[in-house]
Copies of this chain bind each other. A is one copy, B any other.
Amino acid sequence: MARIPDSHPRKKSLESRQKIVDGSSMGLLADSAMIAHGRGEAFDYLLGERTTGSAREAIRESAARLRNARRPVISVNGNTVVLAGDGAIRLAAVLGCPIEVNLYYRTPTRVNGLISLLEEWRSKVSQEDVPDGFDGDWKESVEGVSLLGESPNFEIEGLEGPRSNCTLEGIGGADTILVPLEDGDRCEALISLGKEVLVVDLNPLSRSSRMATVTIVDEVSRAFEGILSHLLNDSDYMQTEWDNRKSLKESLKEIGDHFSE
């Protein structure tokens, strides 16, 4: 693909598209991953490809809840790893939590491929400058991030087949799960287990969005950057009684307003 000039107004979106096309040709993504990405592109376009006010609030709330969690985990699928694997590693390093690869269409090849990609990111991110506001040994924290999902030893109650599989060290034993781009059924099952589920989803009307404890209606890499920034530089903020329904309504209004411009 030709290099996209820096001045292109939709550079970020086109680069993300290319990451998905590449991930797909590498065999890391399910058949429907590109279609799902296209749906996301359309919703992001409607949002104006920016983090809206209501998304900023949801990001802040999610950061506070992750900080307060006893056993947080970041659950990632193929699109999340391809689009924002580096962001996931940074968040996990700051939170001291594992990342679990958790696929709806699970195959050993894809799980292993995605874990390898995360290992590459872990190595790159460990060599980055210490982020502003981070207190501790960055390299050690990043290298200590465990990457789970290869050997599931736990089943999510209420789900059938391979998509119920996860690990006890990760999703199974977690109290708070940050899970971008999640399937509605699985989101519902996790909520039923009494877990706090923080979803990142560009469609405020999706079942995941409506089921979640907190829904961040934003593009996944922007959402991860936002959470990181709040974790590092906004530690006074305390979690609230969150009204997710109200937040989703606000997202819909923002889309409507942007659309009618």
- Classify chain A's interface size: 20 to 34
Quick check: is A224 within 8 A (CB to CB) of the other chain?
Answer: no
The proximity string for A residues 33-74 relative to B, scoring 1 for CB distances below 8 Å and 0 otherwise, is: 011111111110110000000000000000000000000000
Chain B nearest CB: distance from A163 CB in Å?
A: 14
The proximity string for A residues 73-98 relative to B, scoring 1 for CB distances below 8 Å and 0 otherwise, is: 00000000000000000000000000
User: Whole-angstrom distance between the alpha carbons of A237 and B45 in the complex?
Assistant: 37
Does A20 contact B35, Cβ atoms closer than 8 Å?
yes
Residues of B within 8 A of A256 (CB): 256, 259-260
In the complex, which residue of chain B has the Cβ closest to the Cβ of A1? B31
Q: Which residues of chain A from 225 to 261 have a CB within 8 Å of any chain B CB?
A: 252, 255-256, 259-260
User: Whole-angstrom distance between the alpha carbons of A40 and B42 in the complex?
Assistant: 8
Chain B nearest CB: distance from A44 CB in Å?
A: 10
User: Whole-angstrom distance between the alpha carbons of A205 and B203 in the complex?
Assistant: 18
Does B42 contact A17, Cβ atoms closer than 8 Å?
no
User: Whole-angstrom distance between the alpha carbons of A205 and B166 in the complex?
Assistant: 42
Question: Chain A residues in contact with chain B, CB under 8 A?
Answer: 17, 20-21, 24-25, 31-32, 34-43, 45-46, 203, 205, 252, 255-256, 259-260
20 more A-B contacts (CB under 8 A) besides A35-B37, A46-B46, A256-B259?
A: A21-B31, A21-B35, A35-B35, A36-B38, A37-B38, A38-B38, A38-B39, A38-B41, A38-B42, A39-B39, A39-B41, A39-B45, A40-B42, A41-B42, A252-B259, A252-B260, A255-B259, A256-B256, A256-B260, A259-B259
Interface pairs (16), CB distance under 8 Å: A17-B32, A21-B32, A21-B35, A24-B31, A25-B31, A34-B34, A34-B38, A35-B37, A35-B38, A38-B38, A39-B41, A39-B42, A42-B203, A46-B46, A255-B259, A259-B259
